[in-house]
Amino acid sequence: MASSHTGLEFDVLADHLALMLAQEDLVSIEKVIRDMSPSDLVDVLEREDPDDRAIIYRLLPREVAVEVFERFSPGMRADLLTGLRDEHVVGVFEHLDPDDRVSLVDELPATVSAKLFSGLSEKERALTAPILGYPSGTIGRHMSTEYVRLRPGMTPREAFDHVRASGDGAETVYLLMVTDDHRRLEGVVGMRDLIFALDGDSADGDSRDDDPAAEPITVRDLMKSPESVTASEDAEKAARRAVRTTHLVTPVVDEENRLIGILTVDDANRIIDRADEEDAARAGASEPLDRPYLITSVTTLVRSRIVWLLVLALSAILTVQVLEMFEDALATVVTLSLFIPLLTGTAGNTGSQAATTVTRALAVGEVRLRDTWKVAWREVRVGLTMGVLLGMIGAVVAGLVYGMDFGLIIGLTLVSICTIAATVGGIMPMVARAIKADPAVFSTPFISTFCDASGLIVYFLIAKAVLGI
Amino acid sequence: MASSHTGLEFDVLADHLALMLAQEDLVSIEKVIRDMSPSDLVDVLEREDPDDRAIIYRLLPREVAVEVFERFSPGMRADLLTGLRDEHVVGVFEHLDPDDRVSLVDELPATVSAKLFSGLSEKERALTAPILGYPSGTIGRHMSTEYVRLRPGMTPREAFDHVRASGDGAETVYLLMVTDDHRRLEGVVGMRDLIFALDGDSADGDSRDDDPAAEPITVRDLMKSPESVTASEDAEKAARRAVRTTHLVTPVVDEENRLIGILTVDDANRIIDRADEEDAARAGASEPLDRPYLITSVTTLVRSRIVWLLVLALSAILTVQVLEMFEDALATVVTLSLFIPLLTGTAGNTGSQAATTVTRALAVGEVRLRDTWKVAWREVRVGLTMGVLLGMIGAVVAGLVYGMDFGLIIGLTLVSICTIAATVGGIMPMVARAIKADPAVFSTPFISTFCDASGLIVYFLIAKAVLGI
């Protein structure tokens, strides 16, 4: 029974495959990959270059191929399709879930995707169309249109038989949607509740007229009130809410509460993962990558970072200008320049601490826009407390080494910049959210630059006052 | 049908509740919360102070109370329990899932949890014991011990009946574990496959001797090879692998492949969420919070940040020492000090770009330790490319404003520090992983400090060479 690999086994396997690829020994490769789990296959394929990946992929049995494909990132899917022969591509495309099909469209050139769609069967095209109707960025774009619908009046047995008769292609049969005659969502029923509500003695076949005496249990009695999302909602927000319900599936409805699809918990997780990855990348001043790091070209890596780096370097010219303003003070007391990196670094760290915390709280919905003043007031107090603690230490250390004057300057500056940096760091993500920008973009890097400049001004003003220059 | 709230409705609701709490109008509160979904209740309760939270919580019906409790963070669970009366606490504790019960133990004082355990029923204590046997940090600590086991020889009907008879308290009946006589895991069967394999005409009752002529389908035929995790494995790693399988449930086995529990996808997600939150917090130089931001006290916020800030400030003393080494140069050419924040800032940004990307790649398993040299070589090239681009711009701008010499100094310094910073930023998370530290800890803040110091040395060495001082 192929359990998942440990790190070491995996390394051996990867080396082994590389050798077989070099020798073009397709028979051996096929033998090795036949025993691998889809997770391991994804791990291996993510590390191969595009040509080798296409070779290995073509050797996979159809069902495994589709499962592996669905686990790839959008960028890798597009790469792979361009590496496969036409008949392979059409086969994979037909067997994808409708929502995965749609997300591919966003990656492929329009001509390619148009060709792929024209090759789709009638049925699959009908399932894909509603998803394409929603703009990318909405949750409608990620929903599945293959679900099982029940009526509230059905008995558990009727419902169970209906699932067995119609649920074959459904994304899931574990949470069933209950709608009225106008397709309006009334509730959801777990397969588990349905199973335990089945009467023990009736056959699987037609049993509609059984038991006319006792009041029969119906789907309505088993039904729970659904926590649904609206198709036009922002994908990340809706996905986070769906995951928080801890249900396997969340119904997707239109503005009139009509059921139009379902969102599975693993699709929701994929959306959140992607959003978190974006946030993490932007907090680190780069754009998220579409493909695994090791197979991303150096050019693409540079492109994901250089714009940010340039913008930040240009905004850092502000610090040069601030220092120019105080060039005289620097010339008079050279010692002042020694503390520049320490002070700007501390300001930057304090700012990004606050920004990281508030950005996260915004993302998971713990903090809302109306809380802006609450956040500001908390950060003022947090910054001031940390500034006082740090300032006292700084004053003593700097005082001992560079004299009383410098102790005073460093102490006062640390108190001020910690307070300013924490407050600005806390508010900036809220401002970003208010102007509908990505809070993560506004966090760490920009805040650092801002804190650098304002920290320097405070530093030199205090220094000039204390030293009387 | 209570669908989930929009932002605005939520604000109105929160204000409304605050008013009713102030008036101690429990009847109205009960009426309002009765119509709210568990998600909304969690959102509301997370924003109340501990006393009000306990008041509202006590008004919830039992089933809803347990569901809401399970969605709280560990810290909030502990808070809430201390705010409830004893008889409430015992009730909640008895109805929790065994794994949630164990995670509470880590939060509560030992005397409190001992008392709670002594109040547990025999059955629940037996379910909890195996989980407590694994150290915290392992996946065994998060597994559920309530699952349904099948034998490979069962017919679909027998298996289905077994689930109905024994699956009542199980965490899930949607993925069923198949074991041999020695409890060794042989495979898993989806409830879906079981349902579709049921023969249409046999009764739900005893049917073991039906159809002796035809070769009957058994669980063995429906069984898939499981992707399992080992109970002693690191929780985050195992959870990531479990989620990647896209299965609802992952079997947890011991070293001898004996089944001892299951890991549900939502428990796996909670582990990953928590790990990502930790990474994000540490990359922003603070410790993750146990409770939502707005109800975390200022003192706790300070405590989550101050140690980091202190350590970083102390390590920044390195930069003061570096600058002291070059005090003469600074005194001779004051203009040199103007570029200090710009250069250290750029080095810090370049370093954290690389660190963020590699930390993420390590966390999701795209990069392994054996790839260290590959990573270093990629980052050398990325850093050099960005350095050359930025250096050319810097040389021209600085050259025009401050003269040829400064153009040359700034240009050369940018090329060098970008290359160094990207390389160090890429390697540091690998080093952290190698010495079994958290890569996120080593990323942004420490790398900034290191880049600051080494960048300054490079800068002054180049400046002294070019200016001949």
Report strand pairing: B259-264 vs B249-253. antiparallel
Mean pLDDT score of chain B: 84
Q: Which of B7, B160, B285 sits opposite A352 (nearest CB)?
A: B285
Q: How far apart are CA B198 and CA A260, in angstroms?
A: 30
- Give the tokens for residue B78: 């502990």
Q: Which of B38, B245, B444 sits opposite A284 (nearest CB)?
A: B444
Per-residue pLDDT band at B442 (split at 50, 70, 90): low
B319 touches chain A (CB under 8 A): yes
User: Using CA atoms in the order A456, A458, A459, A462, what is the torsion angle rounded to 10 degrees?
Assistant: 160
Q: Which of A205, A341, A381 sits opposite B316 (nearest CB)?
A: A341
Cβ–Cβ of B345/A248 closer than 8 Å?
A: no
**Spatial CA neighbour of A469 closest among A339, A334, A344:** A334
User: B345-357 burial by CB neighbour count: b if 16+ within 10 A, else e?
Assistant: bbbbbbbbbbbbb
DSSP class of residue A23 equals: T
> What is the arrangement of strands in the sheet containing B249-253, beginning at the earlier edge strand?
B229-230, B249-253, B259-264
Question: Is B183 in contact with B258 (CB distance < 8 Å)?
Answer: yes
Looking at per-residue confidence, does B392 or A20 come out higher? B392
Q: Write down the pLDDT at residue A168.
A: 78
Q: Write down the pLDDT at residue A93.
A: 78
Mean pLDDT score of chain A: 84
Residues of chain B contacting residue A316, judged by C-beta atoms under 8 Å apart = 341-342, 345-346
Residue range B303-352, pLDDT digits in tens: 888 988 888 888 888 889 999 999 999 999 999 999 999 999 899 889 98
Mutation target to probe the B interface, by most B beta carbons within 10 A, among A39, A194, A257 is A39
What average pLDDT score do residues B430-449 get?
A: 77
Mutation target to probe the A interface, by most A beta carbons within 10 A, among B206, B258, B377, B382 is B382
User: Strand, coil or helix: what is A146?
Assistant: coil
DSSP class of residue B139 equals: G
Greatest Cα pair distance in chain B: 102
Q: Which helix (H) or strand (E) holds A360?
A: helix A340-363
Looking at per-residue confidence, does B357 or B283 come out higher? B357
DSSP class of residue A121 equals: -
Q: Is the pLDDT of residue B203 over 50?
A: no
Q: Write down the pLDDT at residue A2.
A: 40
Residue range B111-167, pLDDT digits in tens: 777 777 777 787 787 788 778 778 888 999 888 888 899 999 999 999 999 999 887
B468: left (phi over 0), alpha (psi -120 to 50) or beta: left
Least confident of A146-150, B165-169, B372-376, B444-448: B444-448
User: Strand, coil or helix: what is A150?
Assistant: strand
Report strand pairing: B175-179 vs B259-264. unpaired
The distance in angstroms from the start CA to the end CA of chain B is 79
A307 touches chain B (CB under 8 A): no
Give, in degrees to the nearest 5, the angle at Cα B298 between B292 and B304. 75
Q: Write down the pLDDT at residue B8.
A: 58
Q: Is the pLDDT of residue B200 over 60?
A: no
B450 touches chain A (CB under 8 A): no
Q: What is the DSSP string of B222-256?
A: H-B----EETTSBHHHHHHHHHHTT-SEEEEE-TT
Mutation target to probe the B interface, by most B beta carbons within 10 A, among A179, A314, A382 is A382
Residue range B211-232, pLDDT digits in tens: 455 678 899 999 988 889 999 9
Q: How far apart are CA B279 and CA B355, in angstroms?
A: 12
A277 touches chain B (CB under 8 A): yes
Cβ–Cβ of A356/B243 closer than 8 Å?
A: no
Q: How far apart are CA B121 and CA B279, in angstroms?
A: 38
Residue range A279-299, pLDDT digits in tens: 878 877 788 888 888 888 899
Question: Is B329 in contact with A254 (CB distance < 8 Å)?
Answer: no
Looking at per-residue confidence, does A71 or B404 come out higher? B404
**Spatial CA neighbour of A160 closest among A212, A222, A215:** A222
Task: State the nearest Cα–Cα gap between A469 and chain B, in angstroms.
Answer: 16
Per-residue pLDDT band at B37 (split at 50, 70, 90): confident
Q: Write down the pLDDT at residue A4.
A: 46
> What is the arrangement of strands in the sheet containing B149-150, beginning at the earlier edge strand?
B149-150, B175-179, B185-190
- Give the tokens for residue B215: 């070769």
B211: left (phi over 0), alpha (psi -120 to 50) or beta: left
Q: Which helix (H) or strand (E) holds B155?
A: none
A218 touches chain B (CB under 8 A): no
Helix, strand, coil share (%) of chain A residues, nearest 5: 65, 5, 25
Q: Is the pLDDT of residue B400 over 90?
A: yes
B337 touches chain A (CB under 8 A): yes
* ipTM score over 0.85, yes or no: no
Task: State the nearest Cα–Cα gap between B60 and chain A, in angstroms.
Answer: 17
Q: Which of B39, B187, B394 sits opposite A1 (nearest CB)?
A: B187
- Half-sphere exposure (CA, 13 Å, Cβ side) for A278? 13
Q: Write down the pLDDT at residue A7.
A: 55
Give, in degrees to the nearest 5, the angle at Cα B421 between B420 and B426. 105
B434 touches chain A (CB under 8 A): no
With a CB cutoff of 8 Å and minimum separation 6, the contacts of A242 are A227, A229, A250, A263, A265, A268
Cβ–Cβ of A323/B344 closer than 8 Å?
A: no
Q: Is the pLDDT of residue A5 over 60?
A: no
Residues of chain B contacting residue A365, judged by C-beta atoms under 8 Å apart = 43
With a CB cutoff of 8 Å and minimum separation 6, the contacts of B116 are B89, B90, B93, B104, B108
Neighbours of B203 (CB within 10 A): 14
Question: Is A398 in contact with A406 (CB distance < 8 Å)?
Answer: yes
Q: How far apart are CA A385 and CA A407, in angstroms?
A: 19
Identify any residues that bridge with B229 across adjacent strands, giving them in sequence order: B252
Q: Write down the pLDDT at residue B207.
A: 44
A 53-82 residues inside an 8 A Cβ radius of B: 70-71
Helix, strand, coil share (%) of chain B residues, nearest 5: 65, 5, 25
Task: State the nearest Cα–Cα gap between B138 and chain A, in angstroms.
Answer: 16
Task: State the nearest Cα–Cα gap between B415 and chain A, in angstroms.
Answer: 13
Nearest chain A residue (CA) to B165: A196
Give, in degrees to the nearest 5, the angle at Cα A133 between A127 and A139. 90
Residues of chain A contacting residue B229, judged by C-beta atoms under 8 Å apart = 4
